[in-house]
Amino acid sequence: MLGKIIKIVLVGIVLLALPIVYFGYQFYHTGEDYGLSRQLADTTTKRTTAYGEVVGFIDENSSHTWMGIPYAQAPVGELRWRAPLKPQPWDDIYEALQAGDFCKQFGSQMESRPPSEWGTPIGSEDCLKLNIFAPAFATGAVPKGDSRLPVMVYVHGGGNMVGYANQFKYSGTQLAHTHNVIVVTFNYRLGPFGWFSHPALNNGGSAEDQSGNYGNLDSIRALAWVQNNIEAFGGNPDNVTLFGESAGGMNTFVLLASPLAEGLFHKAIIQSGITTKTTPLSEAQNYVNSAEPGDKNSSREIVSSFLVADGLAGDRQEATEVQNGMSNAEISTYLRAKSADDLLTIYDFSGVLGLPSVPQLLADGAVIPSRKLIQVFSNSADYNAVPTILG
């Protein structure tokens, strides 16, 4: 009898341990990211976009794939912390045969990066690229008119701090091959490159440039690219589903409320990523001891941290005085001169999983409503009321 009880207990322990082992493996598993190596071009994949011709390759599912197509200009130099611009046209055939660099971020176990990268800046600011997965069609047999295929645009997760579109678990080839749809994945700016609002930046510029919501604007730009170009790949721009998980779900949810995203998608799927919380501009911009306190990683606090680190101020109080005495142009020039790595490593690392916490989803009133989202969604006339699945 005792032996039977011991066996039952052991079986129970094994059954309890299996999901822990499985999810632990998924959490730390580094997988083979899609599109790391350059593929051979296949002429049947040649398509014409508004910016020039592109050619892709045939993948392991015999589907057509295009990787690393620019959907915006590189947000570097003076374009850092600005709304994304349309890509520049190209003359030669663009070879979309390999994934582009993922956006600047810290290497993290949360995104299955190898331990050697954890806590280290990786990626590039020149990252606004998208990938397209489609069933195989000869150049002259691409669906048109009523035969055009549904389009699914995926927003990756990662807390808006980490993640990238060509991660091994995000390949759209199986979905395209099995369900006869066009799948689009894309990179968007993360962390302080995607969400950063300082009054000195873009002073007098457009509302979008001043918004601080550059990661969300990247999503809007990618959707606009799809609207203007996906027909060349057999997709129907009038049947676009936007979907994402975790932070990707939150970003999808926020675009339901954004007036700038109106008409760019027609259905939404939000996977474990709903939020009703946005960040007031005061929290994103102000000093922590202001009458309206800012976040410990607010833009003004970050500038003060740089001033101390650069020896331009002896402590935080002096840094506040120095910053208050700088002109908008001086602060803007000072921030834009910082390297991408410096902009990451200046942040406080006491966030989840060793990642810094950056104020994001800013209630700027242009990209994201200044009202609370719960108020926005109380009236279908105030948001993009498309069929939505939440889960």
Residue 8 confidence (pLDDT) above 80? no
Average the pLDDT over 49-68 and give the result. 95
Q: What is the pLDDT of residue 34?
A: 75
Q: What is the 3-class SS of 101-149, one letter each residue?
A: CCECEEECHHHCCCHHHECCEECECCCCEEEEEECCCCHHHCCCHHHCE
Beta bridge partners of 153: 184, 242
pLDDT at 20 over 80: no
Per-residue pLDDT, 115: 77
Helix (H) / strand (E) containing 57: strand 57-58
What pLDDT, on a 0 to 100 scale, did the predictor assign at position 111?
Answer: 63
CA distances, 171 to each of 59, 133, 166, 235, 259 (Å): 11, 8, 6, 18, 30
Dig out the tokens for 299 from the structure.
């833009």
Domains and CATH numbers, the chain: 31-271 (3.40.50.1820), 281-354 (no CATH)
